[in-house]
Amino acid sequence: MNLRAAQIVISTGVILGVSFGCAQEIPESPSATTSEDTRPSVTESPEESELEPKAVDPKPKTALPPQTKNPVTSSSDGLYFYGEVPTTEALGKEYLLFRQEGTQVIGWNARWATDDRSCLRGQRQGDKITNIETAIAPLGPSETWVFSMLDDIPLSNYSVLPTQPLPEGSQGLLDDCVKILEWQTNVARSPNYGLNSWVGNYTFSEATSSGAPQVMAYQIDIFGGEEQGRGKVSIDGQMTAERLIVEVRPESPTSVGLYFQEHTGEFPTERSLLKPGDRLFGIELIDGGNLQISWDKWEPLIIVNQGFFVPDDLSRQPL
């Protein structure tokens, strides 16, 4: 499975290094452990009749134990948890958690205690998941989400694991996968999906903290209306006056990327070697409603080798 590290801006749950619970999938009924309960089986409720044999019968006939391969071919709606091995702490082994509604499933798969994980969406057909779309999060600020198709996943190769309790952070990651895949569907229908919320004027600056004073001032205009998907970047310094036209692309539910189209400034720097389509940097909405710059082809001119930059005076005004 060629999956890549997730760096999800939208508060993803962390599943690395946590201990999965090994509780039974179906809890014991009190009637199975109380010796004074002498009620005949004919008076038991349907729920007790179904639960009690699974707790005391060493060879259940109606369901497989949670840690057995060749999982039950259930098509009912609900939450499903599978593992490549019958334990939940096997380093490097693959695990799948997904929610099923009808035949559609959506969830994540990951290798235990590694950065190898992704979101997935597909169709449940018996004991396999087909027509799988995956969403792999970026490794760093210079990369974007990767969406691709994946080969069928045969669930018969996995062990059924209990969904209660779930590993810490698993439900949060599942919720985030639902968000990113729904967002991807909307962007596929409309390439400028969500850009209206980014229309405005953004300004920030970077400056030296010691030595000779040096300041670079940035202004970013993201247009709407007929010019939606376009923007202008202005950079001014002591010996710099750059003006660029950029393409603005949605990159996640909480970020956009700015891609170079052409120079219009009088005094371009050595960065004038940029090619159309080069990703300059991204703007991300982070916790607390703050904005963050993630550098790419463009790096900070003054604050060197800093992957992310959250300037104090980063502000936004409507155009």
Chain segment 190-201, per-residue pLDDT in tens: 888 889 889 988
Split at pLDDT 50, 70, 90, the class of 138 is: confident
Only one residue has tokens 């999982």, namely: 71
Pairing of strands 159-160, 78-83: antiparallel
Q: Provide the residue range defining the domain that includes 166.
A: 46-189
Work out the average pLDDT over 1-16. Answer: 34
Q: How far apart are CA 107 and CA 153, in angstroms?
A: 13
Does the residue 124 lie in any domain? yes
Does the residue 220 lie in any domain? yes
- 183 & 199 share domain: no
- 241 & 181 share domain: no
Does the residue 34 lie in any domain? no
- 205 & 169 share domain: no
- 153 & 254 share domain: no
pLDDT at 268: 54
DSSP the chain: --------TTTPPP-TTPPPP---SSPPPGGGT-TT----GGGS-HHHHHHHHHHH-SS-SSS--TT-BS-----SSEEEEEESSSSS--TT-EEEEEEEETTEEEEEEEETTSS-EEEEEEEEETTEEEEEEEEE--SSTT---EEEEE--EEGGGSEE---SSPPTTHHHHHHHHHHHHHHHHHHHH-TTTTGGGG-EEEEEEEE-SSSS--EEEEEEEE--GGGTTEEEEEEE-SS-EEEEEEEEEEEETTEEEEEEEEE--SB--GGGG--TT-EEEEEEE-GGG-EEEEESSS--SSSTT-SEE--TT-EEE--
Amino acid type, 206: E
- 159 & 63 share domain: yes
Does the residue 157 lie in any domain? yes
- 54 & 173 share domain: yes
Decide if pLDDT at 110 tops 70: yes
- 228 & 165 share domain: no
Does the residue 201 lie in any domain? yes
- 119 & 208 share domain: no
- 257 & 209 share domain: yes
Does the residue 76 lie in any domain? yes
Decide if pLDDT at 148 tops 50: yes
Split into its structural domains, the chain has a count of: 2
- 250 & 170 share domain: no
- 82 & 161 share domain: yes
Please say which residue of 189, 207, 237 terminates a domain.
Answer: 189
Split at pLDDT 50, 70, 90, the class of 10 is: very low
Q: How far apart are CA 118 and CA 282, in angstroms?
A: 22
Chain segment 177-228, per-residue pLDDT in tens: 999 999 888 888 888 888 988 998 888 877 766 666 677 788 899 999 889 8
- 158 & 252 share domain: no
Please say which residue of 152, 169, 189 terminates a domain.
Answer: 189
Please say which residue of 189, 217, 246 terminates a domain.
Answer: 189
